[in-house]
Structure 1
Amino acid sequence: MNTRIAVLIPCYNEEKTIERVIADFQTVLPEARIYVCDNNSNDLTVERAEKAGARVLFESAQGKGHAMLRLFNSIDADIYVLVDGDDTYPAQQAPGLIAALKEKNAQMVVGDRLSNNTYKLQNKRKFHNLGNSLMNRLINTFFKSNIKDILSGYRVFDKGFVHNYASFAKGFEIETDLTLFALNYGLPVYEVPIDYRNRPEGSFSKLNTFSDGFRLIFTFFNLYRLYKPLSFFSLVALFLFLTGCFLGAFPIYEYMEFQYVYKVPTAVLALGLILMAALLLCCGLILDLITNIDRKNMKIKMKKYVVKYQ
């Protein structure tokens, strides 16, 4: 049985580039089926995608995350190639990503734009480079990983990843969510350096540097709480415990000095903070047990997706 390949292109107002993206992938991967998910475009994206020969799906909930999940949930294939519709990722490098998925037994292969500095050279929005560096450092530090390009939109997945992936991510934070999902469940991830090119003239990014940047940071800490609850709640509990001890030192000093506590509210607050720290630590322990059970269940589910590619 031949390997079925699906190229997935979530789109919002990409009439300037979508035809070229589809044509390039038709040339490079003639055996693949190409799907475009239109996310409420108000230009000619849909017409041009259909004219180029892609099958068009629709997602009314606004956001790249919604469009990508619509594609994941609607299409059955053995290998999925996820790419943006803005013509910034060369289709010519898709076979290399697919080959890495097969040869390295990976479940997600990421097109790494940063190692060869093409993203830094091509992207003209300075804060984007800073944001990429910040997210890479945060995730690699807290999840003890070595992912070089967390936010790349050029990825290849196997069937097991796609069929088991679930997310509440709505917009451009979806790439962060994909990466942390793989790291949390121990799914094999491999990176392949790729070239990146800036958007062609007349094509505009929908990414807002600051609002989407803050959303990425919020997404990271929310997923850190979800995937590493013991670590997250232990840090919060430690902060509350130390604050409680600091405040509690004043009533204790008063009692030792005067055999009377004048700062009763301070003593009550200190005790409350210490008790809250203990409760948070207990919550972290319970949630950590649930998370470990969930990871074991995921490993069991993944066994049936072992694929021999042809």
Structure 2
Amino acid sequence: MVGHRPNPVVGHPLNKPFLLYGVLCFVVGMAMYVTGVLLVFPRYLLNLHALLDPVAEWLVWYSGVPIMIGIVLALFDLLYMLQHKKPDVPVRYIPVQRRRVTVALTAYNDEDSIAGAVEDFLAHPLVERVIVVSNNSRDATFARAEAAGALTFNEPAPGYGRCVHRCLSEAVRFDDTEFVVLCEGDSTFRAYDVEKLLAYAPHADIVNGSRIVEPLRQYLTQLTVFMYYGNLFVGKLLEAKYLGRGTITDVGTTYKLCRRDALVGLLPHLNPGVNLEFNAHFLDTALSRGLLLLECPITFHARIGLSKGGNINNWRGFTVGARMIYGLLSDWKRYA
């Protein structure tokens, strides 16, 4: 399989994501410290000194323990383990033989946007075909996608992960295109970015679109400031887990380009039972399988219609992010 290579430190007794653990320990310590300091308000305003003084003192005093553990773990990984973890291989360059892609769009109750999204991609000169997988939509999504010229499939099992897995499974059946572009049908992304994704294709197995470049994001989107920085934080945790293997700024994006042959080998290792955090699971699994991942800045636009995923509100975004972090730490065992 193109691009498959073992982790350079597999089997090494110190092959652990120390930087990942260190960052989380540091965050826990800082949260303890800030909580202890903020208790000053209920202590004085509500005269709860007897109850809260010991709690605040304990939090501030012992917050130093996880902070110091985090610093030590991070320095150990950065100053010592990085030289063992970073792959000693030349820069990849595999020329693109045929600049044509199969586009696979996920859709769930996207009747207002799906036709425009399909037509946008079909009009692009590098797009061979557009596949739409409707996740058992209750509106006219399926019919409008079909009328717009897409190859349409219905995935009756609910869940974003099942929809994406079905999208990729249907797309790899077409062996006349070397690449599969995964996206969604809510018009938050544009077909013209296919050119940029393909420009990075010679160097990677997966080119992950990044929404993190500020001038390329429309001012008002469903990605709030909290979600924006939360997504960046989780992306950096994934980067820390595979220290030296990639630069990751956007772990939640749904726009990515994949080599078809890499996907064929990756699909059996993906768990469609992972729901809204599936994109993090996808990237984590790809890196664990030795695939080469790059990021490419893409444009991001306001969606048409209401969000049904992790961007409904900040609380929903926080819970999805928390499940992503748990998945990264547990290797997604809760879905086994």
Residue of structure 1 in register with 2:284 after alignment: 180
Where does 1:191-206 land on structure 2 (aligned, <5 Å)? 191-200=295-304, 203-206=305-308
Give the Cα separation in 2 of the matches to 1:30 and 1:129: 30
Deviation at residue 219 of structure 1 after TM alignment: 3.6
Residue of structure 2 in register with 1:221 after alignment: 326
Maintained 8 Å contact 1:122/1:196:
no
Instruction: Report the AA paired with residue 62 of structure 1.
Output: P
Residue of structure 2 in register with 1:155 after alignment: 256
Maintained 8 Å contact 2:108/2:134:
yes
Say if 1:126 and 1:50 are closer, same or farther in 2 by CA, change over 3 A. Answer: same
Question: The residue matched to 2:115 in structure 1 has which SS?
Answer: helix
Residue of structure 2 in register with 1:167 after alignment: 270
User: Structure 2 stretches of 5 or more lacking a match?
Assistant: 1-96
Deviation at residue 117 of structure 1 after TM alignment: 4.6
Q: 1:92 aligns with which of 192, 207, 215?
A: 192
Maintained 8 Å contact 1:116/1:193:
no
Instruction: Report the AA paired with residue 10 of structure 1.
Output: T
Aligned residues: 224
Say if 1:2 and 1:98 are closer, same or farther in 2 by CA, change over 3 A. Answer: closer
Deviation at residue 226 of structure 1 after TM alignment: 2.9
Residue of structure 1 in register with 2:35 after alignment: none
Question: The residue matched to 1:170 in structure 2 has which SS?
Answer: coil
Give the Cα separation in 2 of the matches to 1:34 and 1:5: 9
Say if 1:21 and 1:173 are closer, same or farther in 2 by CA, change over 3 A. Answer: same
Maintained 8 Å contact 2:106/2:184:
yes
Residue of structure 2 in register with 1:112 after alignment: 210
1:43 counterpart = 2:147? no
Deviation at residue 53 of structure 1 after TM alignment: 0.6
Residue of structure 2 in register with 1:291 after alignment: none
Instruction: Report the AA paired with residue 209 of structure 2.
Output: G
1:190 counterpart = 2:294? yes
Instruction: Report the AA paired with residue 122 of structure 1.
Output: L
Q: Rg larger in 1 or in 2?
A: 1
Give the Cα separation in 1 of the matches to 2:230 and 2:185: 22
Question: The residue matched to 1:157 in structure 2 has which SS?
Answer: strand
1:146 counterpart = 2:247? yes
Say if 1:40 and 1:128 are closer, same or farther in 2 by CA, change over 3 A. Answer: same
1:130 counterpart = 2:229? yes
Residue of structure 1 in register with 2:89 after alignment: none
Residue of structure 1 in register with 2:32 after alignment: none
Higher relative contact order (CA 8 A, sep 6+): 2
Maintained 8 Å contact 1:100/1:190:
yes
Where does 1:1-310 land on structure 2 (aligned, <5 Å)? 5-29=101-125, 31-75=127-171, 76-77=173-174, 78-101=178-201, 103-104=202-203, 106-119=204-217, 121-124=219-222, 125-144=224-243, 145-165=246-266, 166-168=269-271, 169-200=273-304, 203-207=305-309, 208-209=312-313, 210-211=315-316, 213-226=318-331
% same residue = 25
Maintained 8 Å contact 2:209/2:295:
yes
Maintained 8 Å contact 1:97/1:111:
yes
Instruction: Report the AA paired with residue 306 of structure 2.
Output: F
Give the Cα separation in 2 of the matches to 1:30 and 1:179: 25
Instruction: Report the AA paired with residue 192 of structure 1.
Output: C
| TM-score, structure 2 as length reference | 0.61
Query: Per-residue CA shift, 1:250-288, capped at 9, x if unaligned?
Result: xxxxxxxxxxxxxxxxxxxxxxxxxxxxxxxxxxxxxxx
CA RMSD of aligned residues (A): 2.4
Maintained 8 Å contact 1:59/1:66:
yes
Query: Per-residue CA shift, 1:100-121, capped at 9, x if unaligned?
Result: 21x32x1100111102454473
Deviation at residue 130 of structure 1 after TM alignment: 3.3
Instruction: Report the AA paired with residue 187 of structure 1.
Output: L
Deviation at residue 72 of structure 1 after TM alignment: 1.9
Give the Cα separation in 2 of the matches to 1:137 and 1:30: 32
| TM-score, structure 1 as length reference | 0.66
Deviation at residue 33 of structure 1 after TM alignment: 1.3
Say if 1:137 and 1:92 are closer, same or farther in 2 by CA, change over 3 A. Answer: same
Deviation at residue 189 of structure 1 after TM alignment: 1.2
